[in-house]
Amino acid sequence: MTTVAPTAPALAGAARRWMLTVGALLLAGPVLFDLGYALHPSLPMDVEAALTEVADVRTRHAAAKVMVAFGGLLMIALLLTYRRWLVPARGRGLATAGTALAAIGLAANSLSQAAHGYLLYWASAPGVAPSAGADVVAAAEADTSAVTLPVSFFSVPLFAVGLVLVAVALWRAGSVPRWVPVGMVVAGLAAGTIGTGPLMLVVLALDVAIAGTALAHAARRATDVAP
């Protein structure tokens, strides 16, 4: 049986299709993350009041939490891609440290978002007694709870510091336009200031521009070094 080796153009075409598929998946990270926060309803801090208000938007609230959780996990892969292809030498240590810190923060946030979303969805169900639901959610949100402790005390500062370190590494590497690392810091600060609501769509647009540009440069570098 005779086998025919694929031609160089066929290999190049397959590589481009693969990179486009992976790039679209990675780009979904910031899209889901920011869109989830944009759709997240604003709820009061008081548990009983939050359960009363979330009852009418419980499906939207749960969907927003899931989007943030999945988006955060995909963003870990996005940052790993930046480190692998956009910081080959200069700034490598900063990129490694920043990616590690941001990844821990994002993973903790995803865990807490998913857990909190499920708890409020369950506690606000018609068949659950309001007092029982409130007690469970209050216990989960206590300072000693492992459910919300990561997002409250670890995930946000870890992600923020990690993002800044990755941005500095990209600046030092010079592998992307200068506005990309600057935009990463600006988008991070804006997201922390805005929190939730429709204004997060502005952050989403900026993050898509940043990630799209960075991924395009990463794909070009990966193609250049391919055998």
Note whether residue 9 is domain-resident.
no
pLDDT of residue 4: 46
55-68, pLDDT tens digit by residue? 889 999 999 999 99
Note whether residue 167 is domain-resident.
yes
Mean pLDDT of all residues belonging to the chain: 86
pLDDT of residue 11: 45
Note whether residue 122 is domain-resident.
yes
The total of structural domains in the chain comes to 1
11-38, pLDDT tens digit by residue? 445 556 666 677 788 999 999 999 999 9
Note whether residue 11 is domain-resident.
no
Note whether residue 1 is domain-resident.
no
Q: Kindly report the CA angle at 34 between 74 and 71, in degrees rounded to 5?
A: 20
Note whether residue 226 is domain-resident.
no
Note whether 146 and 116 are within 8 A (CB).
no
Domain around 202: 17-219
118-130, pLDDT tens digit by residue? 989 999 998 888 8
Q: Percent of the chain beyond pLDDT 70?
A: 85
Q: What is the pTM of this model?
A: 0.86
Residue 175 has pLDDT above 80, yes or no: yes
The token pair that represents 134 in the structure block: 């409130």
Note whether residue 74 is domain-resident.
yes
What is each CA distance from 202 to 24, 150, 182, 198, 205, in whole angstroms?
Answer: 20, 27, 16, 8, 5
Note whether residue 100 is domain-resident.
yes
φ, ψ for residue 45 (rounded to 5)? -70, -35
